Amino acid sequence: MKRRIILMGWVMSMMIGFNSCSSDNDPIDNTDDNPGQVPTTPTEPGALNLENYKNGTGVMMQTFYWDVEPRHEWWKIINGKVEGWANAGIDRLWLPVATKGQSGGYSMGYDPSDYFDFGEFNQHGTVATRFGTRDELVTLIANAHANDLEVIADIVINHNSGGGLEWNPYRNKNTYTLFDGTHGNASGMFNRNYENFYPNSTSDYDHGSLFYAEQNLDHNQEYVKNWLWKSDNSVAKYYQDVMGFDGWRFDYVQGFEPWVIKEWMDEVGGFAVGENWDGNANNLRNWVAAAGIPAFDFSAFYKMEEAFDRHNDLTYLGKDMLRKTHPEMAVTFVANHDSEKDSNADNRIAAENKLKAYAYILTHDGYPTIFYSDYENAAFQDDLKKLILLHNTLATGDVEILYNDNDEYVMRRKGTSTNPGLILYINTSSNTKRRTINSHWTNTTLMDYSGKTTYKPTTGADGSVSIEAPAGSYSIWSITN
């Protein structure tokens, strides 16, 4: 991965005495009875060269938002950003659904019609997909690989759309279940008819999918299994072996059983994550155990939304999340294409709180995802680059919450024998705050590597130190040279 970033730094690690909710009366609020010393040092300490502390992790970029514009240009647009993303510390690109949907050039891909039309067949009113042509996609994937980035395919394997109308004896009416060379499947591969959807001659099961229930694929059929993942020219193997995709983002996994993903992954492997839109951490734990792959951590997403927005109470960050019990199975995020298109405030984190939420996921365990529109926001990008760098370097070791009340949250990554780790301090009050904690460093000057404060405290002989977080913001601490 090509990157050369030296960050002006600051970091620290803490134990902490748990205190009651802090006061907002003073511009700087030392909330502990025994505020830490802030001794001066004869020489200015230097920031760590974070390039020397790479911890082997990375960050995934979601490379699209809902209804990207301009149409037919997207593969070329993001191709021009690949090298910059790689330099910033991104290690995977999550692409939108790459094949032709019923809406043709207007389709975001979640109405899949032809699984093998990447923008080369004239159907549904267009040759190119909304994102561009097959050749442009191939160029993008090759460029990503040249920059050491994996490319993740968004896969929709339960509901289909855009087929021809045919009589369906199992539903006793006409259904849009005919997919062939002249009915939404110009590639001629994976032709389908009513027998391949629920219900059919082998199953009367009806999942009741929220999307295109009449075109809900029956994964129990060998024909469907073969075309989706088992045969040499299956969707999975074509994506992997011909197009060059490295992994999978499984859309709407509540629309089919977890064993489908297990069989898919046993056949082709690669990185994978499932979209199980469920804020209940227990439900997510049960699903990842059954499917055998990570899930987007909607439990963490909703706890952040409640902490920063809905209830303005950081104690929600102390509640149950998938990442707290199964960090290796949790893909964390602050926003995605669905949450941002939804006008429901409870399904999104407000813009003024997003950087605090990104500071949370990029310092904690779990595998974080950056949303394209947030990274490309000029007001966010510099901060996100710093946070990505800190994630890929100092954000390592066990997680320990040192302090948590309604407007303060302090967390330590304990580091390793060769990595000092870090401490995150979030403050949602209207005043700058300082809090004394007991660090595992002695007689060491600390710095805020997020750049939010120039305050440089020094730990005492017992490891105690007072750290600072600006009003409505965060700071990230570690040792200096």
CATH code, domain with 428:
2.60.40.1180
Per-residue pLDDT, averaged over 393-422, amounts to 96
pLDDT at 156: 98
148 shares a domain with 174: yes
Q: Is residue 8 part of a domain?
A: no
C-alpha distances out from residue 418 to 55, 335, 367, 421, Å: 10, 33, 22, 9
Q: How confident is the model at residue 7 (pLDDT cuts 50, 70, 90)?
A: very low
pLDDT, averaged across the chain: 91
Instruction: Answer whether residue 2 is part of any domain.
Output: no
For residue 34, is it within any domain? yes
Structural domain including 426 reads 28-53+399-479
Whole-structure pTM over 0.85, yes or no?
yes
| Domain stops at, among 362, 392, 422 | 392
- The encoded tokens of residue 224 equal 């469907």
Query: Is 34 in the same domain as 109?
Result: no
Active site residue 405: no
451 and 332 part of one domain: no
Q: At what angle do helices 351-363 and 298-305 cross, to 10 degrees?
A: 130
CB atoms within 10 A of CB 442: 13
pLDDT for res 354: 98
pLDDT in tens, 67-95: 999 999 999 999 999 999 999 999 999 99
Q: What is the CATH number of the domain that holds 134?
A: 3.20.20.80
Q: What is the pLDDT of residue 386?
A: 98
191 marked as part of a ligand binding site: no
Direct distance between the N- and C-terminal alpha carbons of the chain, in angstroms, rounded to an integer: 26
In the predicted structure, residue 32 carries a pLDDT above the cut 70: no
238: which DSSP letter?
A: I
Alpha carbon separation from 63 to 19, 88, 199 (Å, rounded): 42, 14, 36
pLDDT at 274 over 70: yes
Are 260 and 160 part of one and the same domain? yes
Q: Could you say which of 335, 366, 392 is where a domain stops?
A: 392
Q: Report the pLDDT value the prediction gives residue 209, as an integer from 0 to 100.
A: 63
In a domain, 162, yes or no: yes
- pLDDT per position as a tens digit, 88-97: 999 999 999 9
91 among known catalytic residues: no
Residue ending a domain, among 392, 418, 440, is 392
Amino acid at 223: Y
Question: Can you give the pLDDT at residue 208?
Answer: 64
Q: How confident is the model at residue 9 (pLDDT cuts 50, 70, 90)?
A: very low
Residues present in the chain in total = 481
Task: Determine if residue 353 is labeled as part of a ligand binding site.
Answer: no
Residue 3 has pLDDT above 70, yes or no: no
DSSP track, 363-374: HSSSEEEEEHHH
Q: Which residues of 157-190 are buried (b: 16+ CB within 10 A; e: fewer)?
A: bbbbbbbbeeebebbeeebbbbbeeebbbbbebb
218 part of a folded domain: yes
Are residue 155 and residue 289 in the same domain, yes or no? yes
The answer on 147 and 106 residing in a single domain is yes
What is the rounded distance in angstroms from the CA atom of residue 102 to the CA atom of residue 111? Answer: 6
**Which pLDDT band holds residue 415 (cuts at 50, 70, 90)?**
very high
Same domain? For 466 and 351 the reply is no
pLDDT tens-digit readout, 143-160: 999 999 999 999 999 999
Compare 31 and 394 and report the one with higher pLDDT: 394
Residues 171, 307 within the same domain: yes
Catalytic residue among 154, 214, 218, 275: 275
Residues 349 and 245 in one domain: yes
The whole-angstrom distance between residue 57's C-alpha and the CA centroid of its chain comes to: 14
229 and 179, same structural domain?
Answer: yes
C-alpha 12/C-alpha 445 separation (Å) is 9
Specify the range with the lowest mean pLDDT, choosing from 3-17, 172-186, 226-240, 269-283.
3-17
Domain count, the chain: 2
Structure confidence at residue 38 (pLDDT):
36
Q: Which of 460, 323, 334, 463 is nearest to 401 (CA)?
A: 323
Average pLDDT over residues 434-442: 90
Determine which one of 251, 297, 305, 408 is catalytic.
Answer: 251
CA dihedral 311, 317, 322, 324 (to 10 degrees): -170
Give the C-alpha distances (Å, rounded to integers) separating 215 from 177, 272, 289: 6, 25, 28
What pLDDT score was predicted for residue 204? Answer: 87
> Residue 184 and residue 191: Cα distance in Å, rounded?
9
Distance CA 459, CA 437 (A): 10
Rounded mean pLDDT of 399-426? 96
Tell me if 430 is assigned to some domain: yes
Query: Do residues 287 and 430 both lie within one domain?
Result: no
Does any domain span residue 427?
Answer: yes
Percent of the chain with pLDDT over 70: 90
Residue 408 lies in a domain: yes
Tell me: do 445 and 375 sit in the same domain.
no
